[in-house]
Chain A
Amino acid sequence: MSQTPEDQATGLRSFDALFRFFDRITATMSVIGTAAILFIMVLITADVVGRFFFGRPIAGVPEMVSMLILSIVFLQIANTLLRGKLTRADGLLTLLRSKAPKVGGVLDAVMHFIGAGLVGVLVYAFYPLFVRSYGRDEMIGTVGQFLAPIWPTYLVVLIGACALLIAFALRGLAILLAAFRGPSREAAR
């Protein structure tokens, strides 16, 4: 059920190659996020075991988990969109695509471009937060127990949001091109 760039193949070779290349990048980011989920699982279990059997919890687990969650989400989000797994109700679009493929394609593409625009606003507004956290060396945790800088997490958020912006734009373009260049595979299914 999950989608790949091939589903939106436009037939324009250079564009398809670019799309596939970008898809690989998001897949790599997603792999890092996936590893982080397993890491959180092991970390929390180790914390619980340490607390029960050795009377020594690991310092800073709540802080690490809270920062990692934010990173995980933004590492995965672009790939989630490209796999067609970002939550949406596609009843109307499916109907349109079977009845009037071009109208359906245009509407779908517009939805993606709006997504790109909104994420652009987010990137624009989030950038100052990152700069400030880096400039002031903001920390998370308690002095004497566990301290970590916040800016790496915000950097990941920023990179992930940029990737999502590009993913929205490219996928929108691909859908638009496919709608006007002969039958796309999505319509054929």
Chain B
Amino acid sequence: MSGIEIGLWSLGAILVLIYAGMHVAIALALVSFFGIWILRDNADQAARILSLATRESISSYLFGVVPLFVLMGLVVSRANFGRDTFDVATRFLGGLRGGLGISTVGANAIFASITGISIASAAVFTKIAVPEMMRAGHSARFATGVVVGSSILGMLIPPSLLMILYGILAEQSVGALFIAGIGPGILVTVIFCVGIWLMVRFWSGFTGTAAAASIDDASGRGALQEIVSKLSPIVLLVGLCLGGLYGGVFTPTEAGAIGALGAILIAFVKRRLSPKTLWQVTLETGHITAAICFLIIAATMYSRMLALTGLPVFLTEWIVALDVGVYGFLFFYIAVLVLLGTLLDSSSIMLITVPLALPVAQSLGIDPIWLGIITVLAVEIGLLTPPMGLSVFVVKGALDDPAISLKDVFMGAAPFALMMLFALVLIVLFPSISLGLL
């Protein structure tokens, strides 16, 4: 067997094993181990490459960024900052047609700028926004769909765990990726808002007819005070953590540490966090960190094995010779990501595809930061699509309402998946949406 055949077989084996239910990291490491064994005809050497990947792949200062941003995201979710953003957003946007839906998207966009995990946003806003929307008269499908759809903003608007992961895999600056995510984040937010307005206006069979949202009439100084008190922690956190990062004062790891500590302190001052909750949240952070970093170790083994097979070089030459151009390649790449997204979770997809796609993209002259944004958004569409739609599962799990079936939530999320695809097309056609701020 040639190296390339082994590479292709290993790719197939990984997909089959993961689908059969093997832990993703084990599947990647196992196939890499046997792949290298066959290639080199030496089991000892294969084992040594595993141990070297373990030693080298995550022991770097940059990886401090993973637990710190996860911790920050979990703290702000647990401390009810999501409720505050939702309150403020309904105050400004609640009067519009479909105002509650638009408020949910707006609140999610703001909340996303202090959290980097979609799962956290999805759980928080299911509890806050879904009951409000259904009470106002929206259908369950629409209400849950809005929450599922807008939860993806958590990982699109920086900080973002997926961008951190891509930055690590592709050896790109996490800070640059964060800045490149701002434009696309705003674009998706606007598309969602317009889409909701249109749906409520022209497709009331789907959205249900909502009564005008009841807005507190408190105005003047009292209202202003309330808005300031609800919004100031978030503004403070964004300024402290991301401001320092964009200003070039902090490294991403430092921004994570200061953001996490800042979130904890603010939550303590506002009496939103007990030491016990903080401890639980940190334990959860530890589990998430361990799972992600273990995946990264396994992905390092896998990409070393791939390099030995020569598959990336072969693939690059093949695609360049096909002469499909940048758009042809991107079309194919996005299709693969969305397809994989129906079965696998976001981080696994990136671990498998990025080492293969990046060399091709670079030889085609595609900016790796731009590719990162495209990858993150395409992979996130997978969070919304059946049968494996993680965001949908989280929303369903947080609902506690057996009357709303999983199918309803998937149906509700479908329009938002289409809108994301539309946004993705725009981002591909106009690279400056992502790269303009760099």
Q: A114 contacts which of B30, B55, B61, B388 (Cβ < 8 Å)? A: B30
Q: Quick check: A157 and B54 within 8 Å, CB to CB?
A: yes
Is A121 interfacial (CB-CB < 8 Å)?
Answer: yes
A65 to B61, CA, bound (A): 6
A107 to B260, CA, bound (A): 41
Is A166 interfacial (CB-CB < 8 Å)?
Answer: no
Shortest B267–chain A CB gap in Å is 14
Q: Quick check: A45 and B23 within 8 Å, CB to CB?
A: no
Q: Quick check: A69 and B294 within 8 Å, CB to CB?
A: no
For residue B295, which residues in chain A have a CB less than 8 angstroms away from its CB?
87
Contacts A1-B397, A41-B71, A66-B63 given: A87-B47 contact, CB under 8 Å? no
Contacts A65-B61, A92-B20, A122-B54 given: A87-B279 contact, CB under 8 Å? no
For residue A77, which residues in chain B have a CB less than 8 angstroms away from its CB?
290, 294
Residue of A42, A72, A90, A115 contacting most chain B CB atoms (<10 Å):
A72
Within 8 A of B (CB), among A66-83: 66-70, 72-77, 79-81, 83
Shortest B60–chain A CB gap in Å is 5
Q: Quick check: B288 and A85 within 8 Å, CB to CB?
A: yes
Chain B 234-274 interface mask (CB, 8 Å, partner A; 1/0): 00000000000000001001101110110000000000000
Q: Quick check: B283 and A30 within 8 Å, CB to CB?
A: yes
Chain B contact residues, majority secondary structure: helix
Can you sample 14 A-B contacts with CB below 8 Å?
A: A42-B261, A44-B258, A61-B61, A65-B61, A66-B60, A70-B58, A76-B289, A80-B287, A80-B291, A89-B19, A89-B388, A93-B21, A111-B21, A118-B30
A38 to B293, CA, bound (A): 17
Chain A 21-57 interface mask (CB, 8 Å, partner B; 1/0): 0000000001101100110111111011000000000
Q: Quick check: B59 and A37 within 8 Å, CB to CB?
A: no
A61 to B61, CA, bound (A): 8
* Interface size grouping (class) on chain A: 35 or more
For residue B291, which residues in chain A have a CB less than 8 angstroms away from its CB?
80, 85-87
Residues of B within 8 A of A (CB): 18-26, 29-30, 33, 44, 47-48, 50-52, 54-55, 58-61, 63-64, 66-68, 71, 250, 253-254, 256-258, 260-261, 279, 282-283, 285-295, 297, 343-345, 347-348, 387-388, 397
Is A88 interfacial (CB-CB < 8 Å)?
Answer: yes
Quick one: closest A residue to B257, CB to CB? A44
Q: Which of A8-16, A124-132, A141-149, A181-189 contacts B (4 or more CB under 8 A)?
A: A124-132
For residue B347, which residues in chain A have a CB less than 8 angstroms away from its CB?
87
